[in-house]
Amino acid sequence: GNSVTQMEGPVTLSEEAFLTINCTYTATGYPSLFWYVQYPGEGLQLLLKATKADDKGSNKGFEATYRKETTSFHLEKGSVQVSDSAVYFCALRLGDTGFQKLVFGTGTRLLVSP
Amino acid sequence: AAGVIQSPRHLIKEKRETATLKCYPIPRHDTVYWYQQGPGQDPQFLISFYEKMQSDKGSIPDRFSAQQFSDYHSELNMSSLELGDSALYFCASSLGGSTEAFFGQGTRLTVV
């Protein structure tokens, strides 16, 4: 089946530290890959996406590269801020049609201290 | 820009009661998805609609039903509520085939 595996949290970092949150996937076919962020008490916000192999998604200093050979989509940021504290979800969606559902990983909580 | 609107934001119900959650998609979006996120859990897909027809079905209990109306808003009806139904219910919308889904802020349902 289709699934997403994320590293368990919480990930605790000091401000300006380098961030990596690992994400690997299993899918039949060629999925689009996404990172969503959920701030406390808020809904899910799309952070970045990649729709084909070797694509790099980037937004707000975050980056992730679609690696087909390792079936991975690791999230990175060079210098985290306290305001980045949130839960990050990796997700996949099969196909190009918008009514394909998203399959989420279990989420990784990031805590950034000053 | 207009976003996905969900109402109510918070809802408290007793066991065995009924609840109705509403979702208003982004204007012109024709596809709506419902997800359930239990405490500390990842969002689980429940059901989706495209052009007012059910397009996919996930782990939605038989006690739940949903529909999409002519104005594209959607309602999730939940009957015989159980304590385990307490969760954050997200609605998302997209435009047909090729765009990403945009999520609402969710409705937090607490069953007591």
Is residue A3 within 8 angstroms of chain B, CB to CB?
Answer: no
Task: Quote the CA–CA distance of A6 and A88 in Å, as a whole number.
Answer: 9
pLDDT at residue A96 is higher than 60: no
Given this model, what pLDDT does residue A16 score?
Answer: 97
Given this model, what pLDDT does residue A73 score?
Answer: 97
Half-sphere exposure of A107 (CA within 13 A, CB side): 18
Given this model, what pLDDT does residue A99 score?
Answer: 57
pLDDT at residue B18 is higher than 80: yes
Q: Are strands B87-94 and B102-103 parallel, antiparallel or unpaired?
A: antiparallel
Region A71-79: mean pLDDT is 97
Closest CA to A63 of A20, A103, A92: A20
Given this model, what pLDDT does residue B101 score?
Answer: 84
Task: Quote the CA–CA distance of B78 and A8 in Å, as a whole number.
Answer: 32
Burial track B6-36 (b if 16+ CB lie within 10 A, e otherwise): beeeebebeeeeebebbbbbbeebbbbbbbb
| Residue type at position B96 | G
CB-based burial label for A22 (10 Å; 0-12, 13-18, 19+): middle
Nearest to B99 among A36, A98, A107 (CB): A98
Higher pLDDT, B55 or A88: A88
Task: Quote the CA–CA distance of A19 and A112 in Å, as a whole number.
Answer: 10
Q: Residue B27 — left, alpha, or beta (φ > 0 → left; ψ -120 to 50 → alpha)?
A: beta
**Shortest Cα distance from A69 to chain B (angstroms)?**
24
Cβ of B48 and A107 within 8 Å?
no
pLDDT at residue A95 is higher than 80: no
Percent of chain A with pLDDT over 90: 75
Closest CA to B103 of B90, B88, B112, B86: B90
| CA nearest to B46 within chain A | A101
**Shortest Cα distance from A81 to chain B (angstroms)?**
23
Interface test mutation site (partner B, options A101, A103, A108, max chain B beta carbons within 10 A): A101
Percent of chain A with pLDDT over 70: 96
Write out pLDDT tens, residues B20-76. 999 999 998 999 999 999 988 889 999 999 899 998 888 899 999 999 999 999 999
Task: Quote the CA–CA distance of A44 and A94 in Å, as a whole number.
Answer: 19
Closest CA to A105 of A44, A59, A54: A44
Cβ of B48 and A101 within 8 Å?
yes
Write out pLDDT tens, residues A22-61. 999 999 888 899 999 999 878 889 999 998 899 999 999 9
| CA nearest to B107 within chain A | A43
Nearest to B48 among A42, A89, A99 (CB): A99
Given this model, what pLDDT does residue B35 score?
Answer: 94
Phi and psi at residue A82, in whole multiples of 5°? -55, -35
